[in-house]
């Protein structure tokens, strides 16, 4: 099958069409003319490139010798401007196709360096005892090339390189993090002590994280990502904010000085402990953190689900910080890749916050949830693409959803 690649779609696949059939092809570039081996499905099949007959003007040679084998990157064969355009197009197409929401363009795109941005890696070790990463859709370990991984902060590559010739790694894996300020933290690395915590400074907010806590991996963009969320929140001094899936608290802590109170909700107890510690570390007395699943935590802080219920007092264990909530009028949600449940969206809508800032790492589930919010009376007003993961098919989205008709409720 000889066909030209029309575009790149969700999952990072190029779309080729011929004789009424569509074929999804990895590692294709928009405009490539390819000879393709395609599956037999009569409607949509997956295929692979046999030969590049006429390369796209956006195609380039990857700098990584294991590109296409390692499962880490999908876009190292195209120029970065093309990658950003592809990610914007995928977001808009998923919103139209899945979310039934047509948006003319993304309001803004936040990006930085293509390489050397990752502050965190979980290395895998195979039977050969060499560290690397899983192959695409496999548990086979592809060993790191001698040059290291181009996506990693150079300090991480330097550490692994210094150990490679004199260390026998045990089968399984280990973790390495850096804060970009010369400090390295490890867990499970032979010959090195395990670190319990790691420390970051994000736009003046000091953070202590458990070594296993989730934290955004792009050292160049995490501050700008937080700033965009806070910008979309439109913080005012009388606001009462809920931060759902708050993790170790970076968004809540950044917003806290600008609002009356913030309540973070997080199921991971280690992350909750970190968030509470970080509130004290930054001297914030109007931020508390609740250890609960999203829906239960939201119900607990919303005053039994009544709009004009009595004020509810929430006290943080150990720190003793207490905040009083009357009505949550703005909400931040940053769920895992699976997105939000319809029940949680319904619970948020029943509270009636004026603004919901939705941060997402998956365009498909984000589009689905935008449709559900639309059915609950919320309009998508602002949309930003944050390219947190250059050279991969993944990105972050920050959006602002506003309740139709303006303010739903103002506490008096």
pLDDT tens figures, 283-303: 999 999 999 999 989 888 875
Residue-level pLDDT at 308: 44
Q: How far apart are CA 227 and CA 3, in angstroms?
A: 43
Residue 93 pLDDT class (50, 70, 90 cuts): very high
Query: Sorting pLDDT into bands at 50, 70 and 90, what band is 401?
Result: very high
Interval 399-407 mean pLDDT: 81
Instruction: Name residues whose C-beta falls within 8 Å of residue 304's C-beta, 6 or more positions apart in sequence.
Output: none
In the structure, what pLDDT confidence band is assigned to residue 41 with cuts at 50, 70 and 90? Answer: confident
105 against 262, higher pLDDT? 262
CA–CA gap between residue 109 and residue 132 (Å, rounded): 31
Class of domain 1-59: mainly beta
Contacts of 353 (CB under 8 A, 6+ apart): 242, 328, 329, 330, 331, 403, 408
pLDDT at 260 over 90: yes
Distance of CA 171 to the CA centre of its chain: 28
The CATH number, out of the four listed (3.40.50.150, 3.30.1330.20, 3.40.50.720, 3.40.640.10), of the domain defined by the range 218-403: 3.40.50.150
Q: How do residues 132-155 score in pLDDT, each as one tens digit?
A: 999 988 999 999 999 999 999 999
What confidence score (pLDDT) does residue 185 get?
97
Q: Is the pLDDT of residue 163 over 90?
A: no
- Establish whether domains 1-59 and 218-403 are of one fold: no
For the chain, what is the radius of gyration of the CA atoms? 23
Interstrand relation of 205-210 and 197-202 (parallel, antiparallel or unpaired): antiparallel
Residue 323's pLDDT band, with cuts at 50, 70 and 90, is: low
Q: Compute φ and ψ for 19, nearest 5 degrees.
A: 55, 40
Of all residues in the chain, the percent with pLDDT exceeding 70 is: 92
Q: Count Cβ atoms below 10 Å from residue 219 Cβ, excluding itself.
A: 21
Q: How far is CA 337 from CA 11, 106, 230, 320, 363, in A?
A: 13, 20, 21, 34, 9
Q: Helices 294-301 & 342-351, crossing angle to 10 degrees?
A: 10
Does the pLDDT value for residue 407 go beyond 50? no
Tell which wins on pLDDT, 44 or 12.
Answer: 12
Q: What is the DSSP letter of 132?
A: E
Q: What value does the mean pLDDT take over residues 220-235? A: 96
Helix H or strand E encompassing 18: strand 13-18
DSSP for 341-360, written as a single string: -HHHHHHHHHH--SEEEEEE
Map out the domains of the chain as residue ranges. Answer: 1-59, 120-203, 218-403
214-223, 316-325, 361-370: lowest mean pLDDT where?
316-325
* Mean pLDDT score across all residues of the chain: 90
Helix 342-351 vs helix 363-375: crossing angle, to nearest 10? 40
Reduce the DSSP state of residue 175 to 3 states and report it.
Answer: strand
Q: Could you give the CA distance from residue 382 to residue 103 in angstroms, rounded to a whole number? A: 10
**312 band by pLDDT with thresholds 50, 70 and 90:** low
239/233 Cα distance (integer angstroms): 10
Residues sharing a CB contact under 8 Å with residue 130, sequence separation 6 or more, in sequence order: 141, 143, 144, 164, 169
Tens-place pLDDT, residues 170-201 = 778 999 999 978 799 999 998 899 999 999 99
Task: Compute φ and ψ for 144, nearest 5 degrees.
Answer: -60, 140
Read off the pLDDT band of 129 (50, 70, 90).
confident
Helices (H), 69-173: 80-97, 154-164
pLDDT for 169:
82
- Alpha helices (runs of H) in 41-153, residue ranges in sequence order: 80-97
d(CA 67, CA 267): 36
Query: Long-range contact list for 205-209, CB < 8 A, 24+ apart?
Result: 205/250, 205/253, 205/254, 205/278, 205/282, 206/278, 206/281, 206/282, 207/248, 207/249, 207/250, 207/253, 207/274, 207/278, 207/281, 208/274, 208/277, 208/278, 208/281, 209/248, 209/274
């Amino acid at each position: 099958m000889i066909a030209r690649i029309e575009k790149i779609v969700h999952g990072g696949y190029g779309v080729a069409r011929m004789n009424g059939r569509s074929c999804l092809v990895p590692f294709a570039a928009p405009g490539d003319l390819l000879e393709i081996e395609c599956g037999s499905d009569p409607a949509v099949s997956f295929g692979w490139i046999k030969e590049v007959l006429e390369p796209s003007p956006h195609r380039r040679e990857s700098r990584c010798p294991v590109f296409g084998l390692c499962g880490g990157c999908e876009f190292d064969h195209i120029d970065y401007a093309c990658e950003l355009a592809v990610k914007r197009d995928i977001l808009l197409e998923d919103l139209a196709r899945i979310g039934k929401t047509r948006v003319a363009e993304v309001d803004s795109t936040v990006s930085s360096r293509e390489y050397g941005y990752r502050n965190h890696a979980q290395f895998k070790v195979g039977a050969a005892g060499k560290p690397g990463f899983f192959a695409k859709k496999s548990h086979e370990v592809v060993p790191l090339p001698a040059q290291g991984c181009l996506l990693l902060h150079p300090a991480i590559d330097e550490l692994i390189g210094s150990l490679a010739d004199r260390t026998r790694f045990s089968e399984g894996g280990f973790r390495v993090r850096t804060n970009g300020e010369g400090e390295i933290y490890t867990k499970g690395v032979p010959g090195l002590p395990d670190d319990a915590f790691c420390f970051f400074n994000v736009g003046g907010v000091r953070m202590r994280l458990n070594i296993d806590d989730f934290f955004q991996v792009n050292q160049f963009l995490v501050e700008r990502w937080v700033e965009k969320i806070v910008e979309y929140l439109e913080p005012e001094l009388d606001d009462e904010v809920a931060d759902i899936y708050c993790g170790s608290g970076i968004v809540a802590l950044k917003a806290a000085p600008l609002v009356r109170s913030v309540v973070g909700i997080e199921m991971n107890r280690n992350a909750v402990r970190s968030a509470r510690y970080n509130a004290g570390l930054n001297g914030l007395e109007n931020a508390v953190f609740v250890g609960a699943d999203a829906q239960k935590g939201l119900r607990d802080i919303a005053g039994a689900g009544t709009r004009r219920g009595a004020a509810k007092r929430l006290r943080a264990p150990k720190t003793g910080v207490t905040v009083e909530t009357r009505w949550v009028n703005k909400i931040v949600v940053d769920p895992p890749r699976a997105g939000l449940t319809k029940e949680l969206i319904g619970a948020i809508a029943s509270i009636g916050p004026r603004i919901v800032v939705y941060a997402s790492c998956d365009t498909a589930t984000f589009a689905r949830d935008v449709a559900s919010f639309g059915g609950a009376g919320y309009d998508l007003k602002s949309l930003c693409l944050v390219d947190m993961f250059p050279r991969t098919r993944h990105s972050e989205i920050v959006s602002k959803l506003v309740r139709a008709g303006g303010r739903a409720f103002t506490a008096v």
